Structure 1
């Protein structure tokens, strides 16, 4: 994964294109960075005053950007910038399948860069004043959820098991079934999650092993993968909203046990504990967890 470009205050990035301060794309206003629309379940009780308040669910965030491309006397350069912005969302990687998104990075004073994941839903240049090197732009960016994410991901990797000072007893019987021990040196399985909102991880199990079970000890949620992997093979569980996939290295899908709730396997801000177990004849399989700290507000 490439390192993101450092952004100055009031400088933003839509896909690969820098906009805002210090660029030829002047931003006059950005709307939609506050509370998003709610899907409520409120009910008016019959025969009495008041309201029965049901659960509230947030929709996606619609970010509206009022901008203009400025390059006095150079119409070709203006159109080149317009084309770059339009091309950013017109790729198979963005719109070629369900769940794929484009990043909108925003940077404001007093905060590091934050990332919104979504797609460009409106791109309307006004070419009336193109001959003057000035083209107003009306942009709408629709996010997949209401959260802001950290600019870079955090990750950790843990072996299948750790040996404590107690050692092992011989003879050993194959195959081994080892459970991760967070009390081992380095306390594998304990991760500190930054942010102010829950976030969904991407989990990769690297073989050789069979039927791995991953448990989020903090909540008790468990994911049981029903497959066998040889050395060099892996299974990736993407729990993020809009994705929710369990795929092998060859792109094939893998079943989870019926009791596995991928939508509820979430990391919470603060200390989290992950444990996992599997059947492994070699004790060389590993588990990797990657997550993006999430924030409720900028």
Structure 2
């Protein structure tokens, strides 16, 4: 995995391209950092005053940047910067299929790096003065959802059948205290999820096992996969918006049971308990849970 570029305050990374402070692409205005737009179910009741307020759903966040390429006296460098942005958008791994995204890493003073995932939808320069090394640039980035994410993910591995690494040691020495904090006893099925918003995990079961079933205890949501995995084979359930795939190590798809709702399987801020079962006489299979802490605001 490539080591992320260390960003300075006021510097951002759009795909592989650095913009903002200390780069040839300066930013005059950054819009879309507040509340994301919503799809509402509001209804005006016929023959009555007021408004019936329905369910609200966030749309994907839209970021708009009023920017400019500034490379004094070097028109070729202006074109190079524009070409780099277009090259990032043209990546077949991003635009070649539905749901795939690129990262827009943001570094504002007073905050660690936050990430929004989506696609660059507009990169329109004004070329009237580019011969002098200056071209105003209108950028628009469409995120797949409304959240801001941590730059790095958290991950934990849960062996099959392991309930706890805690317990009591005999003979007991009085007085003794039973700690009510599940995180304190080191149970691998308990996850401490940072952030202020729910986040969607990526779940990978590695064999040998058959028909694994994963449950988020707090919500009762369960994802069950109908497949058999030999030793070293795996199946990955990606619950993230836009992705939402269930794939084997060979790239093939695997069905979930009809009751499994991949779009509703979320981790919430705080302690989450994950349990999983499978048929495995060796008890050597495992579940890896990865997630990016999510935030409602910068």
TM-score normalised per structure 2: 0.91
Secondary structure of the residue that 1:88 maps to in structure 2? helix
**1:171 aligns to what?**
none
Q: Is the 8 A contact 1:163 1:184 kept in 2?
A: no
Summarize deviations over 1:230-261 as a string: whole Å, max 9, x none. Answer: 01110000111111111111111111111111
For structure 1, the residue ranges without an aligned partner over 5 or more in a row are 166-181
Check whether the contact 2:213–2:277 (CA below 8 A) recurs between aligned residues: yes
Q: How many angstroms apart in 1 are the aligned matches of 2:262 and 2:130?
A: 50
Contact preservation (8 Å) 2:118, 2:144: yes
Mapped partners of 1:226, 1:102: distance in 2 = 31
Residue-by-residue CA offset, 1:202-235 (whole Å, 9 max, x unaligned): 0000010001110101111111111100011100
Matched, 1:216 2:216: yes
Q: Secondary structure at the match of 2:98?
A: coil
The yes-or-no answer on 1:68 pairing with 2:68 is yes
**In structure 1, distance between residues paired with 2:223 and 2:183:** 22
**Equivalent runs, 1:251-266 vs 2, <5 Å:** 251-266=251-266
- Structure 1 CA distance, aligned partners of 2:291 and 2:282? 28
1:138 aligned to 2:123?
no
Cross-structure match for 1:160 = 160
Residues 118-129 of structure 1 aligned to structure 2 (within 5 Å)? 118-129=118-129
* 1:185 CA displacement: 6.8
Map 1:184-199; keep pairs closer than 5 Å: 186-199=186-199
CA distance in 2, matches of 1:137, 1:183: 49
- How far apart, in 1, do the equivalents of 2:244 and 2:127 lie? 41
- Once residues 150 and 219 of structure 1 are traced to their aligned partners in structure 2, the CA distance between those partners, rounded to angstroms, is 23
Q: Distance in 2 between matches of 1:164 and 1:67?
A: 53
1:34 paired residue number:
34
**Cα distance, 1:183 vs structure 2:** 9.9
Specify the alignment match of 2:116 in structure 1: 116
Report the Cα distance in structure 2 between the residues aligned to 1:127 and 1:273, rounded to whole angstroms. 55
Q: 1:133 to 1:273 in 2, by over 3 A?
A: same
1:49 aligns with 2:61: no
CA distance in 2, matches of 1:13, 1:164: 41
The CA RMSD measured in Å over matched residues stands at 1.9
Distance 2:36 2:195 in 1: 19
Question: Deviation at 1:27?
Answer: 0.7
